[in-house]
Amino acid sequence: MARKWQWLAASIAGGWLGYRWISRLAVAPQPLSRRRSDVVYAPTPTLFIPGWGGQAWTYNRLLRWLAQQGYAHKVLTIRVDRHGNRHFVGDWETTATNPLIQVLFDHSLTRDYQPQIRWITAILRDLHQRYGVTVYNLVGHSWGGSAAVHSLVLYGHQPDLPHLRRLVLLGTPVDESQPGDHPDAAYERLRAARHQLRTSYRGQVINVYGTLPGRLTDGSVPVHQATALRAILAGSSWQYREIHVPRTSHRQLHALPRMWRLIGQAVWGD
pLDDT digits (tens, 9 = 90+) for 59-77: 999 999 999 999 999 999 9
Confidence check: pLDDT of 114 > 70: yes
Q: What is the 3-state secondary structure (H, E, C) of 185-243?
A: HHHHHHHHHHHHHHCCCCCEEEEEEEECCCCCECCCCEHHHHHCHHHHHCCCCCEEEEE
Q: What is the DSSP letter of 41?
A: -
The three-state secondary structure class of 148 is: helix
pLDDT exceeds 80 at position 79? yes
Q: Is the dihedral of CA 35, 73, 148, 253 positive or negative?
A: positive
Strand extents, DSSP E, 43-142: 46-49, 73-80, 86-89, 99-105, 135-141
Percent of the chain scored above 90 by pLDDT? 76
Which structural domains are found in the chain, ordered by start?
2-268 (3.40.50.1820)
pLDDT of 86 strictly over 50? yes
pLDDT-based confidence at 93, cuts 50/70/90? confident
Is the pLDDT score of 200 beyond 70? Answer: no
- Over residues 153-178, the pLDDT tens digits come to 999 999 999 999 999 999 999 999 99
**Is a pLDDT exceeding 80 seen at residue 133?**
yes
**Residue 19 CA, distance from chain mean position:** 22
Across the chain, what does the average pLDDT equal? 90
Q: In angstroms, rounded to a whole number, what is the distance separating the alpha carbons of residues 19 and 51? A: 17
| Residue 13: pLDDT band with limits 50, 70, 90 | very low
Q: What's the predicted TM-score (pTM) here?
A: 0.90
Per-residue pLDDT, averaged over 132-156, amounts to 97
**pLDDT of the residue at 235:** 86
